[in-house]
Amino acid sequence: MIVLSNAARRHDAIERELLRVGITPRLYHSVLSSGELVWHWLNATSNLDEHGNSGYYFGPERRQTLCDGLPVNWVDGLERADFVLNTGAPVGNPADVRALTPILGKMLKRQLPMHCANLDQYAIRGGVMGISAGAIARHYQSMGAKRVIYYGKPQAELFEKALQALGIDQSRVIMVGDAFETDIAGANNFGIDSLLIAGGIHQAELTPLSTETVEILANRYKFTPSYFCQSFCW
């Protein structure tokens, strides 16, 4: 079992979080995250030589540890930045991405490349739904941004690394997740089975849970799970 996470954190930080909720290392083989992917990309000096090494961190303070150890000159102002690292909304838990339009507009004036360290569109925080980094990046693109780089599910790279780590044929692999746009989309694109957990971010739309309600969402998102269930427990 491999934990695939779109969290904008490195694998060791995620392992500590898993431990806090009772998921010990003996329950899984490894952790792969979008945060780990973006960290390694930014750590490659050849990549920074290509578009400059002055970065502007855009996200909550608690996620800023993702910047640790990188050969990046982190700047406070957008006017001095070569690129933006997006890990989510800087403050609070906004429900509407349009609240961030003014600062995204400042990035757009300079056409700053954006590295999106979390492809998730939404996240549940303290029981309340709010936007995630993926929604911010998508809105930035809709405003006219020319270069947005995404890391994590449903991109193939994370699935390829997971399959390499497992060392088994993909016909024996199943993706378990609660999001159509990342978990189910990634599994469909990569050609592996998927199990949709209905009690996650789509809970309101999948109540009452039935084949019909799952099919409605599958048609909306254009991705279909192999199986579905209310929760992932045993």
The whole-angstrom distance between residue 7's C-alpha and the CA centroid of its chain comes to: 6
| Rounded mean pLDDT, 24-36 | 94
DSSP per position, 103-132: HHHHHHHTT--EEES---SEEEETTEEEE-
Instruction: Specify burial of residue 53 (Cβ count, 10 A radius: 0-12, 13-18, 19+).
Output: middle
| Rounded mean pLDDT, 40-47 | 89
pLDDT for res 47: 82
pLDDT tens digits for range 161-181: 999 999 999 999 999 999 999
On whether both 210 and 101 belong to a single domain, the answer is no
| Rounded mean pLDDT, 5-19 | 94
Q: Whole-angstrom Cα distance, residue 81 to residue 58? A: 11
On whether both 192 and 148 belong to a single domain, the answer is no
On whether both 145 and 69 belong to a single domain, the answer is yes
| Site of tokens 């600062």 | 103
Contact 154, 181 (CB under 8 A): yes
Single out the residue of 102, 174, 177, 172 nearest to residue 140, CA to CA.
102
On whether both 80 and 38 belong to a single domain, the answer is yes
Work out how many domains the chain is built from and give that number.
Answer: 2
The whole-angstrom distance between residue 151's C-alpha and the CA centroid of its chain comes to: 7
pLDDT tens digits for range 90-126: 988 888 999 999 999 999 999 999 999 999 998 888 8
Q: CATH number of the domain at 227, please.
A: 3.40.50.1000
Expressed as residue numbers, the domain containing 18 is 1-167
Cβ neighbours of residue 169 closer than 8 Å, sequence gap 6 or more: none
pLDDT for res 8: 94
Counting residues of the chain whose pLDDT is more than 70, the rounded percentage is 100
Contact 89, 120 (CB under 8 A): no
